[in-house]
Amino acid sequence: MAAVTAGMVKELREMTGAGMMDCKKALSAVDGDMDKAVEFLRENGMAKAAKKAGRIAAEGIVKVVVEGNKAAIVEVISETDFVAKNADFNAYVEAVAAQALNTTAADIDAFLAESWAKEPSKTVAEELASQVAVIGENLKIRRFAQIEENNGLVASYIHMGGKIGVLVDVETDVVNPAIEEMAKNVAMQAAALKPVYTSRHDVDADYIAKETEILTIKAKNEKPDANDKIIEGMVKGRVSKELKEICLLDQVYVKAEDGKQSVGAYVAEVAKANNASIKIKKFVRFETGEGLEKKNEDFAAEVAAQLQ
């Protein structure tokens, strides 16, 4: 049986918000398996859905660029907040975003291998190495994404000076200031409430199945004498509540006057008022340092690999 360390208990507490003794009990029950410990806590009503564990406070910045019906978003991370606020670093990241707008690369490795648009004799990776030498700190082009919408518009929003960036793909047969404002509001919603999916139709079936399994065990623990129909109803309601939190169009619109209107209903309201057909096709949301884990992330090694 694996030994349960204080570090493991601390990490599980950060992930779930559960009590120390509950975390220790869960880890002991599942032989130290962190994922199974999270499930144990949830099944026994000791924790809600888990947060991402052990995130490092990675600094850096997210930039977006929009030109006509095409847009790009990039995240470049640094070691310190001081560099993230540096004017030269910001100008460099803007150039990376401009590069991403026109790239044909399918992944970050191909992106790094292509010619640097501002100085074609260099690759993107070579220019990155030059910036590391000039700025004197490890930097990493972590990710990029493009959106092109030929039947509508792409909205963008940057929050907290580049800590969070969002692009929203809006298909519409009418483009006017009211619809542009709606698109910007949806982008702000995505920045603030951190959805995972655009709508519940995009949710992975495996995710639904796993949540149903966990919530069914939890419901049976809460009401051991309840029949299957009652349990099924409880689980269905709880899954639906979760989807309203993680699906952009199902979320409560943050600017709703009644505190109840969904984002989808808000979009439909604007569409009706402007005699337009509007569809929010997808969104991209980058947050600096998102998903980086202390236990797995070796920043210096990744930078070295990227510069090779």
Provide the residue type at 286 as one letter: F
Residue 297's pLDDT is 47
Stronger pLDDT, 180 or 235, i.e. the higher one: 180
Residue 216's pLDDT is 87
Q: Is the pLDDT of residue 63 over 60?
A: yes
* Mean pLDDT of the region 10-18: 83
CA 251 – CA 275 distance, rounded (Å) = 24
At residue 116 the predicted structure's pLDDT band, cuts being 50, 70 and 90, is very high
Q: Is the pLDDT of residue 39 over 80?
A: yes
DSSP state at residue 48: -
Q: Is the pLDDT of residue 298 over 60?
A: no
CA 31 – CA 27 distance, rounded (Å) = 6
* Mean pLDDT of the region 67-94: 91
Q: Is the pLDDT of residue 252 over 80?
A: yes
Which residue, among 167, 160, 138, 115, has the nearest Cα to 280 in the 3D structure? 167
Residue 128's pLDDT is 94
Q: Would you say 191 and 285 are in contact if contact means Cβ atoms under 8 Å apart? A: yes
- The residue with tokens 């495996």 is 206
- The residue with tokens 């966990």 is 214
Paired tokens of 151: 């039947």
Q: Is the pLDDT of residue 2 over 80?
A: no
Start-end of CATH 1.10.8.10 domains in the chain: 1-53
Q: Would you say 128 and 144 are in contact if contact means Cβ atoms under 8 Å apart? A: no
At residue 279 the predicted structure's pLDDT band, cuts being 50, 70 and 90, is very high
Sheet holding 70-78, edge to edge: 59-67, 70-78, 139-148
**Helix or strand (DSSP H, E) at 98:** helix 87-102
* Residue 213 vs residues 114, 174, 217, 223: alpha-carbon distances, Å: 46, 44, 6, 15
CATH number corresponding to 1-53:
1.10.8.10
Stronger pLDDT, 131 or 15, i.e. the higher one: 131
* Mean pLDDT of the region 40-64: 72
* Residue 275 vs residues 136, 169, 173, 174, 198: alpha-carbon distances, Å: 54, 19, 9, 8, 23
Residue 302's pLDDT is 59
Residue 18's pLDDT is 84
Q: Would you say 53 and 293 are in contact if contact means Cβ atoms under 8 Å apart? A: yes
At residue 211 the predicted structure's pLDDT band, cuts being 50, 70 and 90, is confident
Residue 126's pLDDT is 95
What are the start-end ranges of the H helices in 224-308? Answer: 228-246, 263-273, 299-307
Phi/psi at 116 (nearest 5 deg)? -75, 120
Q: Is the pLDDT of residue 301 over 80?
A: no
Which string of DSSP letters, residue by residue, matches 217-241?
Answer: HHHHHH-TT--HHHHHHHHHHHHHH
* Residue 252 vs residues 71, 83, 181: alpha-carbon distances, Å: 27, 37, 18
Q: Is the pLDDT of residue 295 over 50?
A: no
CATH number corresponding to 59-197+282-307:
3.30.479.20
Percent of the chain with pLDDT over 70: 91
DSSP state at residue 157: E
Expressed in angstroms, the distance from the first to the final Cα of the chain is 41
DSSP state at residue 249: G
Q: At what angle do helices 20-29 and 6-16 cross, to 10 degrees?
A: 110
- The residue with tokens 């199974």 is 36
Average per-residue pLDDT in the chain? 88
Residue 236's pLDDT is 83
Q: Would you say 38 and 47 are in contact if contact means Cβ atoms under 8 Å apart? A: yes
Start-end of CATH 3.30.479.20 domains in the chain: 59-197+282-307
Residue 204's pLDDT is 84
Express each pLDDT in 161-209 by its tens digit.
Answer: 899 999 999 999 999 999 999 999 999 999 999 999 999 889 888 888 8
Percent of the chain with pLDDT over 90: 52
Stronger pLDDT, 69 or 210, i.e. the higher one: 69
